[in-house]
Every structure is written in structure tokens, then in C-alpha cells.
Amino acid sequence: MNDALYKKNLALIEDRLTQYGPRKNLALEVGISDGQLSKLLNGQLREYSRILAALGLELSSAEYLQSLKILIKQEMRP
């Protein structure tokens, strides 16, 4: 498994969680209970991050991807 990728993915998720606001709002938005979200974040999150890394998948923020799309469009213009 790619340990650096695991750490990067986990750090991105944890960073976004701190920026999101109250976790009860996140639980409500995704349609699960506060308890289910807490269980996910306190245990399964690391497992999911390890699965992503093992599959060679890297998480990126929507803002980052949107910026890349804009740059690509600008570079492809004649």
C-alpha cells in the first residue's frame, strides 16, 4: 500500500471535516445519524483511506479540480 497516498487522503478528509462545521449538520446532509457518522469517522475512515490508497486513488477537492478544468480550457483555446 502507498503510505504517502493514505496519509494525503486522510489529511484531506480530516481537514475538510474541521472546515465543515457541526458534525450533526454533515450527518443530516448525508442522511445518517450522528452516531453512525461518529462511528465512521472514529474507525472506518482510516480503513476507507487505506482502501483508496491500495487502489491507487487520490482524493482532490472540488475546487482544485474546477481550477484544473479552467486552466485546461484556457490552454486549449486556439
Per-residue pLDDT, 71: 85
13-17, 24-28, 35-39, 74-78: least confident range: 74-78
Q: How confident is the model at residue 9 (pLDDT cuts 50, 70, 90)?
A: very high
Q: pTM for the complete prediction?
A: 0.73
Summarize pLDDT for 42-61 with one digit per residue, the tens: 888 999 999 999 999 999 88
Per-residue pLDDT, 4: 94
Alpha-helix residue ranges (DSSP H) falling in the chain: 3-20, 23-30, 34-39, 45-54, 62-76
Q: What is the DSSP letter of 55?
A: T
Whether the CB-CB separation of 62 and 9 falls below 8 Å is answered with no
Homologous superfamily (CATH) for 3-76 = lambda repressor-like DNA-binding domains (1.10.260.40)
Whether the CB-CB separation of 78 and 35 falls below 8 Å is answered with no
Per-residue pLDDT, 78: 67
What is the C-alpha separation between 12 and 65, in angstroms, rounded?
Answer: 14
